[in-house]
Amino acid sequence: MPRTKEFDPATVLERAVELFWERGYEATSLSDLVAHLGIAKASIYATFGGKQEFFARALQRYLDRTDPLIMAQLSQPGPVLPAVRALVNRFVSEAAEDAPRRGCMVVNSAVEFAGRDREVTRLVESSWSHLETTLTSALLRARAQGELPPEADARALARFLLVFLQGVRVLERTPEAAARLHDAARIALTILA
């Protein structure tokens, strides 16, 4: 008769997200995971695979939690540019207030792996493509509603915002980032004026 799990895999995965997000892949050992999660190494392997597979599943869980929030924020009916401005301001506020200086798990993974792992690279690129597409759709709506001039290049603006927002997440990891981020956001928002 098969043994039943003595832990909830979803809860364990959520706790793994927090540890990987805080420390990164390389700085998190299997022993760290065992201690933090309170489950045996064999249970980790049996449920989540090796450390690299576990990390990819944790990153996917992080994306499942964060990407839909942006889509929801930019998909509301009515004027679009206030929602885009609010997104920029939210990223900057979160970055300026992030006491643990964790940054964004997607950006951290992109920097740490730098294309070395096919699955992590796919997840990072998928997240960035999703954000770019969501921003492009929102800015096309803004243009159609007269919030942007007819000649505005929605895709180029979306790409600018993608790069800006990911840059915010990189600088978030530094202790003196707040003033830089607020000044940069002010300039970025003038593009959407």
CATH number reported for the structural domain that contains residue 84 in this entry = 1.10.357.10
* 22 within a domain of the structure (yes/no): yes
Higher pLDDT, 50 or 177: 50
* 2 within a domain of the structure (yes/no): no
% helix / strand / coil in the chain, to the nearest 5?
Answer: 75, 0, 25
Q: How far apart are the C-alpha atoms of 30 and 36, rounded to whole Å?
A: 10
36-64 as b/e: b if 16+ CB within 10 A = bbebeeebbeeebeebeebbbbbbbbbbe
* 4 within a domain of the structure (yes/no): no
Q: How far apart are the C-alpha atoms of 109 and 29, rounded to whole Å?
A: 16
What would the pLDDT profile of 10-55 be if each residue is shown by its tens digit?
999 999 999 999 999 999 999 999 999 999 999 999 999 999 999 9
Residue found under tokens 């990189």: 170
Q: Is the pLDDT of residue 147 over 60?
A: yes
* 143 within a domain of the structure (yes/no): yes
What would the pLDDT profile of 155-172 be if each residue is shown by its tens digit?
999 999 999 999 999 988
Residue found under tokens 């049996």: 46
Give 63's contacts (C-beta < 8 A, 6+ positions apart). Answer: 106, 123, 126, 127
What would the pLDDT profile of 79-128 be if each residue is shown by its tens digit?
999 999 999 999 999 888 867 778 899 999 999 987 789 999 999 999 99
Residue found under tokens 């990911």: 166
pTM of this prediction?
0.88
Q: Is the pLDDT of residue 2 over 60?
A: no
Give 158's contacts (C-beta < 8 A, 6+ positions apart). Answer: 132, 133, 135, 136, 138, 139
* 1 within a domain of the structure (yes/no): no
Residue 173's domain comprises 9-191
Task: Give the per-residue pLDDT at 96.
Answer: 83
Task: Give the per-residue pLDDT at 177.
Answer: 84
* 81 within a domain of the structure (yes/no): yes
What distances in angstroms separate CA 128 from CA 48, 66, 96, 123, 158, one per listed residue? 25, 12, 22, 9, 11
* 82 within a domain of the structure (yes/no): yes
Total domain count, the chain: 1
* 42 within a domain of the structure (yes/no): yes
What would the pLDDT profile of 45-56 be if each residue is shown by its tens digit?
999 999 999 999
What would the pLDDT profile of 61-75 be if each residue is shown by its tens digit?
999 999 999 999 999
